[in-house]
A and B are shown apart, each in its own frame.
Chain A
């Protein structure tokens, strides 16, 4: 593939999660930039200008919803598609994610095929 690899920013407070996801994404031809918390994530989003942001909703410090909102406010990042991930069992977590500005929500543990297809779907747009 001669085209530029798409860059994905992955925010999650679990290092192991980052390891796994990064491997998976790399295998599928994506460049991965990661952040361990919301603050770092926001900074990197502005710096790296990824093509897609994948982020965990429940993070210490700035939580995923707030990060989402800020990303949407920032003109640099507001057009970047965001997929939220969450382990929370709350029923309307999806609605909350979307309300905060995410484009999609994926439950953990997720099905990797499902995740990949969603990424592809949003990158196409």
Chain B
């Protein structure tokens, strides 16, 4: 600690330069000096040393080890402790420390005094005013004034402590920040590669126990990490690369074996621009990636739909609404070479100048676009024009889409040429059909249960004196002239709909718009029209007025004629009868023979007139059956009985085969008798002498059969089919006065049919004939719904 004196001495030494040994000269000088200035030099040195002592930043004190008293102190320490020098030099070690920490302070003192330590840190010091500060004390042992002393250098570490506290707080903050981030952070030393810092999240993410990290075992950490990765080799190589290039930033996506996906950022830790370490941050983006993957997948799907859709799809973007994307179908539909050819066009450029209806394409297209934007979507028909100039009809759907804050339209276009063709065909077909329906002169109509016309042909319209379209939707009762007639129709309609069965009315009255009365034969069918909920009536009316007139005429004729013919006939018969009876005088044998022949033919004529009348009344439906419960066994016996005489004359064996009990039918006895008579009569006519005619009556489950079997000449097969037709007389020889009109079997068939029965014939030429009729047996049900009710002429009431 002897400070070297600069200045004078040096100059002097330099000045004196003897060629002789410098060394000896210097030492000589110094001894001389020493002897001469001894005290002065000492004083100067002491002062110099004191200046240094006092100017030290550190507080310096010299203490007697044994008594711990302070022997010397510098200005700094006095300032530090707040004691003046005079006061301080009276104090000992224990006076300058706070009492509660005295022990530690003195321990420190002792360590220094014994030379066991050169520095003790963080020693609490107490100032004169009682305030406390901390100091690091370094000490060395000296011999001072012959005593063992301790020189102590006191450094106020308040600043340092504050700095340390700041650092600690900063570190805490850093820790808090680290822990508060959602990312896992790992800080690694640039040189050693050891883990310097990390957060909980890192441990969580990597499922690494804190112990591994706390002990900074980077190798173990690495093992942990690599074992979880899908591609550890790649990961490792990247890590190594980053160590090679410490300034590099890096981003990577890590895939884990368990399916997790992390994003990894890596930045260098720079201190004054120098990389001192590396920060790794990790983010679990598995969910995020999944969402991304889903989005991508759906995008791909959409892409697929878009690309491969059979419909042409495209997008239009404002402001000019040109096409910006187009799929293959669109390219094909418009016969372009590629999508790019279409991109420079707006929709109206790919259309003819005018749309069907007369509007300009450009104007109409803009309106469609406007509607789509306003409503969100718009569906309409459009005529497009291909790049080759041909046009085609299309259905267009415009849909508004929002993207990136803006609006665009997606368009789907479907070529409906085929559909239009089909529609046109259908329309034409319908037109044709309605033309056909209109040419039919009969009335064809469809009306609902309330009488509302759904469909009419021209004939109906003509009858009502209006155009067909005026009738559709109108109600029958509002357009028909005669209320009663209309009511009647509606009643029938209701019936048909209620029973869901078709009905034919042979004659109903219809007064047309001109007041002319017609008679219609109408069939009404319950019918479900396309698109209708309920069934309606489909009707066809044939105007049979003329027919009816003819029929009426005929009936009148027949009626009149038969009456008129019968009158003279009656007179003739009576006249002949009178003669035969001798009323006008005696008659000889020859005369009688003539009269008998005449009488026979009068009877024949009468029969012919009757049969004509019969068949006419059967056919016109005028015949009235008075049905009763009839025991057929009785009736058969009676009728056959009446022929006994005639059979006897021809030597024909006529017999009946009847069952034991009665057989009841619901029938008109006179008419059935007429039928049976006709059958027996025929049998007798066509059987030669010594033949047989048998009448069988057989009751079955639900009906009864009455058969007349003869052993006569039979009927040829070619005639059998026409046996029951009118005026059939096959070439057969009959007896005198027996030939008639050939109406007998027709009448018989007519009568049996009206009773709900059946008549049939079997025959073999030369062997015989069997004619039989069947009638339903009478039972109590029959009385309620008697079969074969006569069809009455519908009369106006």
Contacts and interface: CB of A to CB of B under 8 A. Distances in A.
Q: Is chain B a partner of chain A in the same complex?
A: yes
Contacts of A20: 571, 574-575, 578
B566 A87 contact: yes
Contacts of A87: 562-567, 569-570
Interface size class of A (residues with CB under 8 A): 10 to 19
B628 interface: no
Contacts of B562: 87-89
A90 interface: yes
Nearest to B569: A109
Interface string B597-622: 00000100010011001100100000
Given A17-B571, A108-B570, A109-B602, A89 B563 contact: yes
Contacts of B566: 87, 89, 108-109
A16 interface: yes
A27 interface: yes
A76 B584 CA distance: 36
Interface of A: 14, 16-17, 20-21, 23-24, 27, 58, 87-92, 108-110, 112
10 contacts: A16-B571, A20-B571, A27-B581, A58-B563, A89-B566, A91-B617, A109-B566, A109-B570, A110-B570, A110-B573
B624 interface: yes
Given A23-B584, A24-B583, A89 B574 contact: no
B574 A112 contact: yes
B121 interface: no
B577 interface: yes
Interface string B576-604: 01100101100000000000000000100
Contacts of A21: 574
Interface string B285-298: 00000000000000
A89 B561 CA distance: 10
Given A14-B567, A89-B563, A109 B574 contact: yes
A23 B568 CA distance: 17
B623 interface: yes
Contacts of B29: none
A20 B606 CA distance: 18
A46 to B, nearest CB: 27
A84 B568 CA distance: 17
Contacts of A92: 624
B497 to A, nearest CB: 37
B68 interface: no
A81 to B, nearest CB: 21
B559 interface: yes
Nearest to A87: B566
B72 to A, nearest CB: 173
Contacts of B578: 20, 23-24, 27
B613 A109 contact: no
Contacts of A16: 568, 571, 575
Contacts of A112: 574, 577, 581
Q: Is the interface of B mostly helix, strand, loop or mixed?
A: helix
Given A109-B602, A109-B606, A14 B613 contact: no
Given A20-B574, A20-B578, A89-B617, 13 more contacts: A14-B568, A23-B578, A23-B584, A27-B581, A87-B564, A88-B559, A89-B558, A89-B563, A91-B623, A108-B570, A109-B606, A110-B573, A112-B574
Chain B CB count within 10 A is highest, among A21, A24, A89, for: A89
Nearest to A92: B624
Contacts of A58: 563
A91 B571 CA distance: 22
A87 B568 CA distance: 10
A27 B624 contact: no
B571 A14 contact: yes
A109 B573 contact: yes
A24 B574 contact: yes
Contacts of B563: 58, 87-89
B351 to A, nearest CB: 82
A89 B616 CA distance: 11
Nearest to B562: A89
Given A87-B562, A109-B569, A109-B602, A27 B583 contact: yes
A51 to B, nearest CB: 21
Contact of B610 (A24, A89, A90): A89
Nearest to B671: A91
Contacts of A109: 566, 569-570, 572-574, 602, 606
Nearest to A112: B577
Nearest to B580: A112
A14 B563 CA distance: 13
Nearest to B561: A89
A82 to B, nearest CB: 19
B753 to A, nearest CB: 17
A91 B624 contact: yes
Contacts of B577: 24, 112
A88 B583 CA distance: 28
Contacts of A14: 567-568, 571
B574 A17 contact: yes
B743 to A, nearest CB: 14
A24 B584 CA distance: 10
A14 to B, nearest CB: 6
A88 B609 CA distance: 11
A39 B338 CA distance: 112
Contacts of A24: 574, 577-578, 583
A88 B562 CA distance: 7
A24 B583 CA distance: 7
A20 B571 CA distance: 7
B552 to A, nearest CB: 15
A109 B578 CA distance: 14
A108 B567 contact: yes
Nearest to B564: A87
A69 B475 CA distance: 49
Interface string B649-688: 0000000000000000000000000000000000000000
Interface in B172-193: none
Nearest to B558: A89
A20 B576 CA distance: 9
**Pairs of residues from A and B, 8 with the lowest C-beta to C-beta distance, nearest first:** A87-B566, A108-B570, A109-B570, A89-B613, A20-B574, A109-B573, A16-B571, A27-B583
Nearest to A89: B613
Contacts of B613: 89
B567 A17 contact: yes
Nearest to B584: A23
Contact of A23 (B564, B570, B583, B606): B583
B604 to A, nearest CB: 12
A64 to B, nearest CB: 12
Interface string B220-243: 000000000000000000000000
Contacts of B571: 14, 16-17, 20
Given A89-B610, A91-B624, A109-B606, A17 B570 contact: yes
Nearest to B571: A16
Contacts of A110: 570, 573-574
A21 B614 CA distance: 28
Contacts of B559: 88-90
Q: In the complex, which of the residues A16, A20, A92, A109 has the most CB atoms of chain B within 10 Å of its own CB atom?
A: A109
A17 B191 CA distance: 160
A28 to B, nearest CB: 9
Contacts of B581: 27, 112
Contacts of A23: 578, 583-584
B792 to A, nearest CB: 14
